[in-house]
Amino acid sequence: MQFGVGFPLTALGDAGEIRDFAQIYEDAGFDYVTVSGHLLSARAGRYDGRPPVTYVGPYHDPFVLFSYLAALTSRLRFITGILILPLLETAAVAKQSAELSLLSNNRFELGVGLSWQEAEYRAVGQDVRRRGVRLAEQIEVLRLYWTRPFFSFKGKFHDIDELGLNRIPVQPIPIWFGSTFSEAPMRRAARMGDGWMPIPFADPAEAMPRFKSYVSEVSRDPNAFRFMARMLAGEGGVDAWIAEGKRLQGLGITHITLDAPPGMAKPTAVKRVVEAKDALSKSIG
pLDDT given at position 16: 92
Strands (E), 172-283: 175-179, 195-198, 226-232, 255-259
Q: Is 90 in contact with 141 (CB distance < 8 Å)?
A: yes
3-class SS string, 213-227:
HHHHHCCCCHHHCEE
Q: What is the DSSP letter of 235?
A: T
Q: Is 138 in contact with 86 (CB distance < 8 Å)?
A: yes
The range of the structural domain enclosing residue 277 comes to 2-284
pLDDT given at position 122: 98
Q: Cα–Cα–Cα angle for 123, 128, 131, nearest 5°?
A: 120
Question: Can you name the residues that pair with 175 across neighbouring β-strands?
Answer: 110
Q: How many folded domains does the chain comprise? A: 1
Query: Shortest CA distance to 280 belongs to which of 247, 269, 176?
Result: 247
- Residues of the chain predicted below pLDDT 50: none
Distance CA 264, CA 267 (A): 8
Distance CA 233, CA 29 (A): 17
Q: Give residue-wise pLDDT tens across range 36-67.
A: 999 999 999 999 999 999 999 999 999 999 99
Query: Shortest CA distance to 38 belongs to which of 19, 64, 20, 57?
Result: 57
pLDDT given at position 262: 85
pLDDT given at position 117: 96
Domain with residue 182: its CATH number is: 3.20.20.30
- What is the phi/psi pair of residue 18, to 5°? -60, -45
Query: Shortest CA distance to 86 belongs to which of 55, 46, 117?
Result: 117
Q: What is this structure's pTM?
A: 0.96
Q: Name residue 2's amino acid.
A: Q
Burial of 151 from C-beta contacts in 10 A (0-12 / 13-18 / 19+) = middle
pLDDT given at position 31: 98
